[in-house]
Amino acid sequence: MKGIFDTHCHYDEFFFEKDRNEVLLTQNKNGIELIINCGSEVPSSIRSCKLAEKYPFIYATVGVFPLEASKVSENWLQEIEELAKKEKVVAIGEIGLDYFLSRAEKEIQKEVFIKQLALAEKLGLPVEIHDRDADEDVLSIIDKFNLKVDIHRIFSEEKYSRAFVERGYYLGIGPQITYPNSEKLINIVREMPMKQMLLETDCPFLPLKEFEGTRAVSSMLEDVAFKISEIRKDITPQEVIEVTKNNGKRLFGIK
């Protein structure tokens, strides 16, 4: 299939150190039309921008991931703002809250999250949000801002996923849908409006179930499109690719 838009990747990670260029060019040749590479702190945001500068089909986000919130430097927000003004930066991300791995730093996470939401609002950029076991706080905090939102790699209980959809947010769907015990996600995929769906791999971190333990790559989204088509029964796999690509281009302002 052609025209796949992977809206959340980390190709700057060391997992791709030995063959990054080969992998990216192969992905592009094999149907991956667009990729967003996401920052998770200042250094990775810089690397994301460099990838976007090097490859025409890659765009970047810049931001501080919640589990990096306690490690930021004194000038971190200024650095993120300067990066965000680069031509191919299309969002502030990956930002958010993660109470699954670290509840001890809740207040620090919130502070860093809020500052980045305010920056996104100031610059008129959408946000890519990481939300793990933090739905109530994520919702209450985002509600204070006027932003376009992508909930990346949706983990939430159905009532919160529905709340995100009701607010007009986009949901990032990827290989997690091929794992056992994904019924909550399957239910959301079945009922949500297609106009709010995005495809993403979170590569290298989330391969298809059959490749568990290996690194993910964007071409795995072809299987995800087939799975979504199978679940919904009202759309073909290629139509899933086309609709989600157009959704991503609309959200991130890509022509």
Please state the domain count of the chain.
1
Q: Give residue 200's domain range.
A: 4-252
Record the tokens describing residue 47, joined without a space: 């690397």
Q: How far is CA 175 from the centre of its chain?
A: 13
Q: What is the pLDDT of residue 155?
A: 87
Given a cut of 70, the residues of the chain with pLDDT beneath it are 102-104
Task: Tell me the CATH number at 156.
Answer: 3.20.20.140
Residues whose CB falls within 8 Å of the CB of residue 151, separated by 6 or more in sequence, listed in order: 129, 131, 161, 164, 169, 170, 171, 172
Return all residues near 67 (Cβ < 8 A) that are at least 6 apart: 98, 101, 102
Question: Could you identify the residue written with the tokens 């990346």?
Answer: 152
Report pLDDT for 104.
67
Question: At 93, phi and psi to the nearest 5?
Answer: 175, 160
- Measured between alpha carbons, how far is 180 from 134 in angstroms, rounded to an integer? 23
Provide the whole-model pTM: 0.97
Beta bridge partners of 32: 4
**Cα 59–chain centre separation:** 12
Start-to-end Cα distance in the chain: 21
The rounded Cα 146 to chain-centroid distance in angstroms is 19
DSSP 145: S
CA distance 244 to 140: 27
Q: Whose CA is closest to 37, among 163, 218, 171?
A: 218
Compute the distance between CA of residue 252 and CA of residue 36 in angstroms, rounded to an integer.
Answer: 10
**Which SS3 state, helix, strand or coil, does residue 232 take?**
helix
- d(C-alpha 89, C-alpha 53), whole Å: 10
Q: Hunting for tokens 């970047």 — which residue is that?
A: 60
* Other beta carbons less than 10 A from residue 250's beta carbon: 12
**Residue 132, pLDDT score:** 95
The predicted-structure confidence for 132-169, as pLDDT tens digits, reads as follows 999 999 999 999 999 999 999 998 999 999 999 999 99
Tens-digit pLDDT profile for residues 72-83:
999 999 999 999
If you ran DSSP here, which 8-state letter would residue 99 be given?
A: T
> What does the alpha-carbon distance between residue 17 and residue 11 come to, in Å, rounded to a whole number?
9
